[in-house]
Amino acid sequence: MTDTAHSNPPPDAAARRAAKPLICYQLDQLPPSNLALYQQARQGMRKLTEITVAPREGGSFEVPAGSFFRIVSVEGAQVGDLNLWHAHDLTERFFSGKTRQLHATHVSTGDRLWSSLPGLRPMATITHDTLDWYGWDEDGAGVHDVIGTRCDPYTNYMLNGVDYHHCCHSNLTRALAVAADIPLTEAELHVHDVMNVFMCTGFTLDTHQYFMKASPVRPGDYIEFFAEIDLLGALSTCPGGDCGSSHSDDSTPCYPLQVEIYQPGAGALQGWSSPPRSGYSGTHGT
Ligand SMILES: [Zn+2]
């Protein structure tokens, strides 16, 4: 609500406003987390492979269930837009809205990335985050948001009247088309709201508008995930760079991001199994 109010407050406005906030989903209601097991397993893990995503581009990677992956800052401060799919079923994909409701507007160690309905299961658990010291700053901003959608050429065209082809939406679309060997038009429909890795964002305190500010990420920082199911991932190095000035153009310095895949030591995950899809009957009352 960025416009001023047009309606007069009712006589009991203060009483209505005084209703107590209630956390919609309590963390202790969620299925138990295996974070302690994963943090033990990460001690003996070894790197299997790595890919580098060039600036203002997209790249894809696969992570088998039971493995770890890291997104690593290299060369300079850079934000990454992350999409995740079930490696064998593109219709099950990261559900940023529900992840936000279950955890918070920004995610870090211990939070899980949940999949879309009707799957609704953890796709990945965050096992380490070198930026978890940041917390919430004086502007109310935090790092790694699940609020923003992704920069896209349609909004850019609406606002600026020009075609720009390296928005995160397009970078992710091209990366998925190659990874899944499907046409661009089909791949685009599978691209979804992202996790904004390393991005520092919040809502303004007065108008609650979405804002960004320069990311605190520096080369060497990383965020690490445990793959709960077989994953296909795509990462875009946002043309906004550190997202401290502009986006959707080539005016900002941009840097690569690295994705590293790790395998835990033998026997480290004893007793662990990949989570099943939601147990809901799916009949919707019929
Ligand atoms: Zn972007």
What's the pLDDT score for residue 226?
A: 98
Catalogue the E-assigned strands of the chain.
46-53, 58-63, 68-73, 80-86, 89-93, 112-114, 122-129, 142-145, 195-203, 210-213, 222-227, 231-237, 257-263
Residue 139 CB coordination number (10 Å): 14
Counting beta carbons within 10 angstroms of the beta carbon of residue 277, is it exposed (0 to 12), middle (13 to 18) or buried (19 or more)? middle
CA of 234 to the centre of ligand 1 (A): 13
Q: What confidence score (pLDDT) does residue 5 get?
A: 87
Question: 152: CA distance to ligand 1 center in Å?
Answer: 7
Tokens of 100: 């936000």
Phi-psi region of 274 (alpha: psi -120 to 50; beta: other; left: phi over 0): beta
Q: What is the 104 CA–ligand 1 centroid distance (Å)?
A: 21
Answer whether 0.85 is exceeded by the pTM: yes
CA distance 78 to 20: 39
- CA 213 to ligand 1 center in whole angstroms: 13
Cα 96 to Cα 116: distance, rounded to the nearest angstrom: 9
**271 CA → ligand 1 middle, Å:** 39
CB 185 within 8 A of CB 228: no
Q: Give residue 114 CA to ligand 1 midpoint distance, Å.
A: 21
Instruction: Work out whether the CA dihedral 38, 235, 241, 204 comes out positive or negative.
Output: negative
Helix (H, G, I), strand (E, B) or coil at 6: coil
pLDDT less than 50: residues of the chain:
none
Minimal CA–CA distance to 174: which of 55, 53, 58?
58
Q: And the tokens for 216?
A: 């605190």
Determine the distance separating the centroid of ligand 1 and the alpha carbon of 235, expressed in angstroms.
Answer: 10
C-alpha of residue 238 to centroid of ligand 1, in Å: 4
pLDDT recorded at residue 246: 76
Ligand 1 centre and the CA of 256: distance in Å?
Answer: 13
pLDDT score recorded for residue 251: 84
Instruction: Give the Å distance between the CA of 48 and the centre of ligand 1.
Output: 28
Contact 23, 15 (CB under 8 A): no
In the chain, the N- to C-terminal Cα span, in Å, equals 38
Gap from CA of 248 to ligand 1 centroid (Å): 7
Q: How far away, in angstroms, is 194 Cα from ligand 1 center?
A: 10
